[in-house]
Amino acid sequence: MIYALLIISILMSVLKNILSKYGDAEFEGVPALFKLNSIIALSTTVMALIMGGHIVGSLNTGSIILCIVNAVTAILAQVFFIKSVATGSVTVSSLFYACGFIIPTIWGAAYYQEEIGVLQIACLLVLCFSLWLGTQKEENGEKGFSVKWLVLALLAMFFSGVLGVLQKIFSMSEQSHLMNDYLATAFSMMFLLTLVVYVFSNKGFRKSSPKFYTLAVLMGIATGLINMLNIFLAGKLPSIIVFPATNGGIIVATALASAIVFREKLSSRQKLSIILGVVSIIVIGVC
């Protein structure tokens, strides 16, 4: 049963990535992006409340401040990821986003004195090489990347990494048992912030297409399930299983789904980039 939940978590992440690409035309422009994120945040907040969470609840001042920072960071990570998949490859963008774990890994080693082995350091270097390789042009003149896409992908990677740092800080705090309250509070703040930006950037509310609302709600449900399932799985399965699956598994599954849904073709260097990235992530998790 627990492995079925792990598979569902991976599939929800793939679904979210595919929906981001499928709706790129609907999500064009600042107002649309923030409207999208407000609906995603609202959907996730409702799910957290259904699971027993409370907005603020028993959280102390430090945790509430962390929720605010988490909300802002989640907004930026989501916006830059959606823009990166709209500008370039879904698969390579997903690889960059997944590799945000490098940031909390370095944070854990520096702040919490967590050990990092020589093999893990070597794999981090290989991973960095795979990211560089994924941006290179083919010798036959094929387009490898655009500067705009690279900036967006790196920003998405950075903020996804910062999210990991924030989750680490909360998980190491004395209030780590209040995870549902934390999620409900963080996503409700995300909803309010994105709603305010949407209203001011759009000068009021404007009706969007049924497709927009459908995609937004589906992405919200996927986001809520991903957060809740991963928190549950982290307490039930060893990281040697969870970590490789929720990073390498998502990349592989997204690559397959993109090839089927969008008939996305990767260059030979991008394929090698994906393989090296996945193998590096798995070895880092296993070690």
| Secondary structure letter of residue 138 according to DSSP | P
pLDDT beyond 60 at 11: yes
Whole-number average pLDDT of the chain = 80
Q: What is the mean pLDDT of residues 160-169?
A: 84
Distances (CA, A) of 87 to 25, 45, 130, 240: 11, 29, 20, 33
Structure tokens at 51: 């699971």
- % residues pLDDT > 70 (the chain): 86
Lowest mean pLDDT among 69-83, 117-131, 163-177, 250-264: 250-264
User: Please, is 278 exposed, middle or buried when counting C-beta atoms within 10 Å of its C-beta (0-12, 13-18, 19+)?
Assistant: buried
Q: Domain-by-domain residue ranges, the chain?
A: 2-286
Residue 28 has pLDDT above 80, yes or no: no
Task: Look at residue 260 and tell me whether its pLDDT is greater than 70.
Answer: yes
DSSP of 6-68: HHHHHHHHHHHHHHHHHTTTTT-SHHHHHHHHHHHHHHHHHHHHHTT--SSTT--HHHHHHHH
Helices 61-87/2-22 angle, 10° precision: 60
What pLDDT is stored for residue 141 in this prediction?
47
Please give the Cα distance from 245 to 278 (Å, whole number). Answer: 10
Task: Report pLDDT digits (tens) over 84-108.
Answer: 888 887 777 877 887 887 788 788 7
Segment 190-199, tens digit of pLDDT? 999 998 888 8
What's the token pair of residue 65?
């401040």
